[in-house]
Structure 1
């Protein structure tokens, strides 16, 4: 390169430096915004997971209470009543057939 070419590039480079600095600041702001939005969405997801975990823990507590407080016996009694009703329905249907 000769001196004339270098003489032309020096002012061009000097004029490009402020534009480059502005571009770098813009990129930094965009990265900061992206990091902030990612952190916000991560916080939202964490809150949703915590809420879901709390719901599941509540459900497990209810199930434990049902099993340990005799609620399991209630379910067994309900099934027994269903069985008894089926037997009664069969008896009624056989009585109706015999009457006809």
Structure 2
């Protein structure tokens, strides 16, 4: 009986604080890791959004050019297409 009381007292005084200290440290590291992962994912998402926005802007510009070609009856169509081809920069490929 006395040894079981001693073991319970030893566990409460020594074992429990050690277990909580190690567990708290592990939990703190896990939270920092999750925070870093969240920051990386946020940065990647912002990069993708910027790429999509730039791509959308280029597509809108091309549509405006095509609309202008189709609606402008005073110019020769093939000459306008060739002129626009020479004026356009190389398209940027999204990877």
After superposition, residues 8-87 of structure 1 pair within 5 angstroms as 8-10=10-12, 11-70=14-73, 74-75=77-78
Which structure ranks higher in relative contact order (CA pairs < 8 Å, sequence separation ≥ 6)? 2
* Greater per-residue helix proportion: 1
Aligned residues: 75
Higher Rg of the two aligned structures: 1
Q: Structure 1 unaligned runs (5+)? A: 76-100
Q: For the structure 1 residues 26 and 71, does the alpha-carbon distance in structure 2 shift closer, same or farther, using more than 3 Å as the test?
A: farther
Q: Structure 2 unaligned runs (5+)? A: 79-95
Greater mean alpha carbon deviation, residues 9-18 or residues 30-39: 9-18
Query: TM-score under structure 2 normalisation?
Result: 0.68
> Which 4+ stretches in 1 moved above 3 angstroms?
none
Aligned to 1:3: 5
